[in-house]
Structure 1
Amino acid sequence: MSENRLDRTDVWILQALQGQARLSSAELAEKVALTPSPCWRRVKRLEDEGYIRGYRTELDPVKLGFGVTAFVSVMLENHRVDLGQEFEAAVAEVPQILSCHNVTGRYDFLLTVVAADLASFGDFARQVLRALPGVKEVYSSFSLRETKAAGRLPLDLLLR
């Protein structure tokens, strides 16, 4: 998969869907100046080729009772491949861990974790995070407020 396979219309489709995934086929087709059938075929191809990985609804964590977002850096005991795989598999099973990145630097993984409050996070850190396979050290930072949400890729750069 190379971005060279994307033409301007493909990028416009991706931009439109990234901004509002609930667009109907007709609305999307109108936005990108296509008729519905060719537009639908392009969306299907973009899905099949993995450019579109899925569709999501953005939820408000605070309204849903998750008042704490923590960024947790984890250092493993060693760098054995099997230990890293075991850690990643265990993390995949923990719903409070929203994302996990294998990173460079002092720590091996960076996790995004949600909890109801600081006390709940403390319990989670002691009972779950420290019990993950191979964990040697855990360092947590807390979000005071979100000033920019993750989400939109800079697709305009593909049009240059």
Structure 2
Amino acid sequence: MTIAIGDKLPAATFKEKTADGPVEITTDQLFAGKRVVLFAVPGAFTPTCSLNHLPGYLENRDTILGKGVDDIAVVAVNDWHVMGAWAQSSGGMGKIHFLADWDAGFTKAVGLDADLSAGGLGLRSKRYSMLVEDGVVKALNVEESPGQATVSGAAAMLEQL
């Protein structure tokens, strides 16, 4: 079942690359008592993710945070090495969280997994964005096609804030 507005996020643990190596970050650590924008991509370094989706959030980071958001995070079904490399190459390291949902545990738990095997990617996440307040989903924007980043993009999220 897909998560919906008003639902509490399930407990999950991600990995994130830091200067000291990988750290685990739980949904409680990231969302408890905070207002967070979370967006998901089918894969780090993939064209739409790298050229359209991520750049909008990086370019609008300060504006989003200025609207009362405490943090911004991107999640993908990739390992922490890949997410760390993507953070470095995109200039996003230290600006937003790059969360590795390495086993798709979180993605499956929120019901936003997608079988992209036909494109050679295997099990991945649907492309979406959500506004989460104290662990509860307040806005949810799921793309119809993984190749689109419009309803889940930073401009759309800014309109919802």
TM-score by length of 2: 0.23
Max radius of gyration: which structure? 1
Structure number with the higher helix fraction is 1
Higher RCO by CA contacts (8 Å cutoff, separation 6 or greater): 2
Structure number with the higher strand fraction is 2
